[in-house]
Structure 1
Amino acid sequence: MKFGRIQNQKFGTFDGAYSLVTQREIKDSQITLTDHEVEVVTSFFGNTIHTGNVKGSDGASLKTFRLHPSGTIIHLNLVYPKPAKSELRLYIATGKGFMPEVGDVVFFYIRDDELWIGNMSEFNWRFQFSALTDDTDDSSYQELVNQTRQTTVDVFKRKRKVALDVMAEANYRCEATPSHRLFVSKSTGNNYLEAHHIIPVSLGSQFDEQLDVKENVVCLCPFCHRALHHAEPKIAIPILNRVVKQRPVFEKFGVSTDDLYNFYALEKIV
């Protein structure tokens, strides 16, 4: 998988890739790099990667990496095991300082002219690399929209009027699931709804366009909104797919469905 905007925001580079470690790879103490991982690693090491087995390399297979996040320097063997260079293999070992667990996300990225390597559980990866996780003031924003507090703080400075205009245009119905039962807010006298930015506002630094605009905001019932923030992919993805049909985010912001899945950490990691 190739780094997207959310990884660029976290790591400071688009030059990165990630994948899940399989049980076979851990058993054999070697990771077979694929697709974008190969692109990242070969773009860094160029033609210095040894072809053949490690034992016959006379040390030429040993490559230097920076370990994320500590920056510790480690040395791992990296080779093309076959003359055709159809496979790129990285050897891992506890004694070498890098030994992920089955199901971990392993990632590579280039920054400051160095190649970094790291791993974390898939759970932690999806939590840390969801742009929604960074929106710690979403509850305050919803309180502002629905006037349930006199004063509130929203670090992303979203405008209440944008959300109210969207709700009025949607006739105060959930735009993801119009059939969902709603209740009337005692503060506004309208159906209680929450405003959701399809492209999360925490990614504002990754876009030239303003994200707090009607083209990027939908009104949702609390169930659909919380599901987008917190539900497992099989629940969240159908809701997101329905939501994006309501707004021209693909055209206006130049993103794809895969980009959105990446923003929400809903992509299938392979």
Structure 2
Amino acid sequence: MVQQGLDSSQEVICRISALRQYDHQTAEDAKRLGARLGRLLGDKNVRADPQLRDDKVERVVTRRVRLARQIASAYVEVRRLQQDIALRGALRAQYKDNAEVAQFRREAGLASAIDGALARSQDETAQGELGFSQGRLDSAMAELARLVGDKPDVLAEKLGSPGAIPDPPVDPLAIAQPEDPRRASLADGVLREARLAQALQEARRTVRDARGAYRQGAGPFSTLYVAEAASTAVELALVDARAGRVTATLDLWSGQDDAWARGGLTPIVAPFPAPTAETITVTAACD
């Protein structure tokens, strides 16, 4: 997906085009005037200015790295919101079940109407939050589609739903330099994620116990209500923490080595080289 965005970026394409035009013009000038005549006339276009070319290359590399980071971050955000929606959707089914149990207990004279009202309120709140999350996902999907040069609906079909937040194949603390201030923040994030994962296991056990107790008439609905709210908050916090760690890892990783971003930027030695892995053919029009 990152490669798709790099290949379709008009800005990247135009910067490469400017670099290629510079290479081509330099080669043509040298061919037309000749090195000897160029030295005689002092024509500055005869010989390439290394610094000028290096500047053009750096502009391409910088934009490629920045765009790759933007695409990766946007992708993580889409996956985070997809998990958010999947979680809230599953909770709605759970809340509806709570309402049915509360209604049954009321009809049997085992509970007041308050239980049913709380259950319905819980479901309506979840429905509203689900709609809000869907709106944010639509915006995030549109932004990712813009970055990779795709249509939101087409991209959504490609990605599917829900999707797990990808784990970079690197140890975030291993790639961070000891003096990098982001390392301490990332370490705190890793620890926070681990604590939330443990807290979620405990919260889920509490929900199971509270639900069983309410069904058997051994516990009030308010306990179940609070237990489910707490479990939901922990699970959503865990999704956010994981997304934050992955984004921070990608940010650190992207700044380690930009060799990949220099691919295809070697000088052209012929006016019209055949397309190879070492060169890029530019077809888009630029201003």
Q: TM-score band, normalised by the shorter chain? A: 0.3 to 0.5
More strand by share: 1
Structure with the larger RCO, 1 or 2 (CA within 8 Å, 6+ apart): 2
TM-score (norm 1): 0.33
Whichever of the two has the greater Rg, that structure is: 2
More helix by share: 2
